[in-house]
Chains A and B, each alone.
Chain A
Amino acid sequence: DTTVKQNPRYKLARVGKPVNLICSQTMNHDTMYWYQKKPNQAPKLLLFYYDKILNREADTFEKFQSSRPNNSFCSLYIGSAGLEYSAMYLCASSRDTGQLYFGEGSKLTVL
C-alpha cells in the first residue's frame, strides 16, 4: 500500500484561529514532508521530518509548527491563520529511493 492519507480534505478557518492538518502513511518511510501549493505557484517546501528530526525552511520557520508522534503520523499546525495561509497543503513521504509519495492534499480556506 503506497497511500498517504490526509485529513481533513477541506478545512474552513477564521482569521486568527488555529488550524491542524494531519497526515499518515503506512509505508514505514523515514521522511515526511509538508508542502504549500497555491494556484499558479510551485509547491513550496515548508518543513520535513527525517525520523524524529524536524527541519523547517528558513522563510517559514515561525509560521508553521509540526509534530511527528510516531513514524506513521505527521501534523502541520498553524497557530493563528491569516488570509495568506489559504492554499492546498500537500503531505508527502519518502524513503531512501528518493521518490516522494503524495497525499491528495488538504485545501485550507481562511476567511
Chain B
Amino acid sequence: SQLAEENPWALSVHEGESVTVNCSYKTSITALQWYRQKSGEGPAQLILIRSNEREKRNGRLRATLDTSSQSSSLSITATRCEDTAVYFCATHTGYQNFYFGKGTSLTVIP
C-alpha cells in the first residue's frame, strides 16, 4: 500500500493565484520532501523538511509538516505558467528508502 498520498489529484489555478497541495503519509519519517516533475523531465526536489521542523520556505514555496497528524502541505504563491507540473511528496524513513505518492497535477492557466 502507498506510504504517501497527495491530494487533490488535480487542480488548476489562474496565474498569480496561490495554491496548496496536501500530503498524508503512513509511516514514521525523518524527513519529507516535495518534488516537482515537469513534462519530459525527471522529478526535481523543491523542499526538504525534517521531522523536527514545522515549516520551510524556498522563494514562493512554503512547506509545512505536522508529524502528529502525519500530514504536510506545499503552498505556492503568485503562481506562474511554468509552475505547471506534477507535484509529489516523498517520505524518508532515515534509511536510503524514499517513497512517493501518486502526485498532484497542477495546471496554471495564463
Segment at the interface with B among A12-20, A40-48, A61-69, A74-82:
A40-48
A23 nearest CB across to chain B (Å) = 11
Identify whether the interface residues of B are mostly helix, strand, loop, or mixed: strand
Is B4 among interface residues, defined by CB-CB distance under 8 A?
yes
B100 A43 Cβ-Cβ under 8 A: yes
**Which single member of B2, B41, B98, B102 contacts A100 (CB below 8 Å)?**
B98
On whether A98 and B33 interact (CB within 8 A), knowing A31-B96, A33-B98, A43-B88, the answer reads yes
Is A102 among interface residues, defined by CB-CB distance under 8 A?
yes
> A29 vs B41: C-alpha distance in the bound complex, in angstroms?
20
A42 B48 Cβ-Cβ under 8 A: no
> A25 vs B100: C-alpha distance in the bound complex, in angstroms?
22
Total chain A interface residues with beta-carbon distance under 8 A: 24
List 6 other contacts, CB 8 Å, given A42-B100, A100-B98.
Answer: A31-B96, A42-B2, A42-B4, A90-B43, A98-B33, A104-B40
Is A99 among interface residues, defined by CB-CB distance under 8 A?
yes
B92 A105 Cβ-Cβ under 8 A: no
Residues of B within 8 A of A92 (CB): 42
B96 nearest CB across to chain A (Å) = 5
B44 A42 Cβ-Cβ under 8 A: no
Is A50 among interface residues, defined by CB-CB distance under 8 A?
yes
B92 A98 Cβ-Cβ under 8 A: yes
B42 nearest CB across to chain A (Å) = 3
**Which residue of the partner chain B has the closest CB to A43?**
B100
Is B12 among interface residues, defined by CB-CB distance under 8 A?
no
**Which residue of the partner chain A has the closest CB to B44?**
A102
A43 B43 Cβ-Cβ under 8 A: yes
On whether A94 and B40 interact (CB within 8 A), knowing A42-B4, A42-B103, A43-B88, the answer reads no
A94 B42 Cβ-Cβ under 8 A: no
Is A108 among interface residues, defined by CB-CB distance under 8 A?
no
Residues of B within 8 A of A103 (CB): 42
B74 nearest CB across to chain A (Å) = 16
